A and B are shown apart, each in its own frame.
Chain A
Amino acid sequence: MASVETSKTRQKPRLLLLQEDGPGEDPVVRELDFDGNMSPGHPENGSEKLQNWLSSNHICPCGPRQFAEQELARKMEELARSNHELEQFAYVASHDLREPLRMVATYTQLLAERYRGQLDEKAQLYITYASDGALRMQALVQDLLSLSRIGQEPLPLRPVDCNAVLADVVHDLEPAIAETSAIVQLSKLPVVQAQASLLRQVFQNLIGNALKFRGKEPPLVRVFAEPEEKRWLFSVSDNGIGIPPESQASIFKIFQRLHARGEYPGNGIGLAICQKIVEHYGGRIWVESQSGCGSSFRFTLPLQAREQAREA
């Protein structure tokens, strides 16, 4: 049993093979390590003792393929669990942080108002710093909460008419559209299985960005969708400042900003939210762009919503 016993303390997993060398012969256990070395058949192979040992250690004698499948399933389960824990953590943290933060923000505000004129210039300035910091942190925590909330309180999937969603979004963005003399061209869009409120956030962020990161010309934003095999491919393209290739992957990260706060306002949450929503539905989002030549944000939504999303 020596070789089996030492596998308890192994660092790398090894594979135990239960093999029958010929018809009628007792099964033989061989150990295969991950460098591909096979041990010779063990003398006590196939014995009841070994079977007991295997089952008491929750090892199921199986072939290499089954073994790999089990490993994969276990890893997937682990990943899903740690992912869920992380989301839960972000949700709880951002939720519970708001309360004390609100105290800091409101009381610095109250301090500034109540004692205006009684404090010297420096004290006033310091209060402004504290107050601005608290307000910015509130915005960040709020963003973090909105991000972690996606998928936390699952809503049933319904057929959503993207044309209606876009009409709402354009209506909401009307002031920015007027201010920038933008033209927003909408093609006919499909009906998809989703939640209108989430889809709305996606389009709101993408079109909002197209208006915000505009070039010298008035913005021209085009929204269209093409059917592909098993999915819709949506595009929101603009003639704005574009995104250099080396930054295109990082723009979807949370709180990632490519510009100074004074240049373009925002916390860097919009695209992270878009990505989370699109991936929640089993789609993918990316950008095609060149510096100075506009950007084209593309995302896919499956024709059939993901199984998991439908159950939720």
Chain B
Amino acid sequence: MPAPEILVVDDNPGDVDLIRESLIATPFRSKVRSVADGAAALGYLKRTGQYQIAALPDLVILDLNLPEPNGHKVLTWLKSEPELRQIPVVVFSSSKSPADIARSYDLGASAYVSKPADLRRFFSAVRAIEEFWFGCASLPAKETRERPDYSRSAD
């Protein structure tokens, strides 16, 4: 299995580094790419401009508190694109507001994880996300994701 790809959408380089730190020396050898705002995230996922050769990620880790368009808007857009909406999106935000959480699930987030304030817990939260999505969950194959074909579903 090729190394899984994670796209981190977060404008705080400190958090991006912490996410990378968390995933050093885990068995999955995930590749972490990052973009700092919603526009770059859209460009990356649509593979336009400088992102033409970007590989589609297996998982998106999305911050909410982004410069416009904010995380909720990016999520809305992602879930409205047929070839992108199967990609699980884990919202990873420092907000614990019930409204932010509810809205994220409403818009189709696969999970909502609050960024822990403690270093150890931060590391274990990121590792738990990786472990669950790449070690436990089954992900859609990239080919079917790009050209949805449900005709060969198992009976």
A: which residues have CB within 8 A of B?
95, 98-99, 101-103, 105-107, 109-110, 113, 138, 153
Residues of A near B119 (CB, < 8 A) are: 105-106, 109-110, 113
Could you tell me how many residues of chain B have their Cβ less than 8 Å away from some Cβ of chain A? Answer: 17
**Pair B115/A102 contact, Cβ less than 8 Å:** yes
Residues of A near B99 (CB, < 8 A) are: 153
Given contacts A106-B118, A106-B122, list 10 more A-B pairs with CB under 8 A: A98-B94, A99-B12, A99-B65, A102-B115, A103-B15, A106-B14, A106-B18, A106-B117, A110-B21, A138-B117
Known A-B contacts A110-B119, A113-B119, A138-B117; A102 and B98 likewise in contact (beta carbons under 8 Å): no
**Pair A107/B94 contact, Cβ less than 8 Å:** no
A99 to B115, CA, bound (A): 10
A99 to B14, CA, bound (A): 11
A102 to B95, CA, bound (A): 12
Taken residue by residue from 95 to 118, chain B's Cβ proximity to chain A (1 for < 8 Å, 0 otherwise) reads as 101110000000000000001011
Closest approach, in angstroms, between the C-beta of A165 and any C-beta of chain B? 20
- Chain B residue at minimal CB-CB distance from A106: B119
B: which residues have CB within 8 A of A?
12, 14-15, 18, 21, 65, 94-95, 97-99, 115, 117-120, 122
**Pair B118/A109 contact, Cβ less than 8 Å:** yes
Residues of B near A102 (CB, < 8 A) are: 94, 115, 117
Among B21, B98, B117, B122, contact of A98 (Cβ-Cβ < 8 Å): B117
Among B14, B97, B118, contact of A103 (Cβ-Cβ < 8 Å): B14
Residues of A near B94 (CB, < 8 A) are: 98-99, 102
**Pair B117/A105 contact, Cβ less than 8 Å:** yes
Residues of A near B120 (CB, < 8 A) are: 109
A155 to B117, CA, bound (A): 27
Residues of B near A110 (CB, < 8 A) are: 18, 21, 119
- Chain A residue at minimal CB-CB distance from B94: A99
A-B contact pairs, 13 of them (CB 8 A): A98-B94, A99-B94, A102-B94, A103-B14, A103-B15, A105-B118, A106-B117, A106-B119, A110-B18, A110-B21, A138-B117, A153-B97, A153-B99
Residues of A near B117 (CB, < 8 A) are: 98, 101-102, 105-106, 138
The 10 A-B pairs with the shortest beta carbon distances in the complex, nearest first, are A109-B119, A106-B119, A103-B14, A102-B117, A99-B94, A138-B117, A110-B119, A98-B94, A105-B117, A102-B94
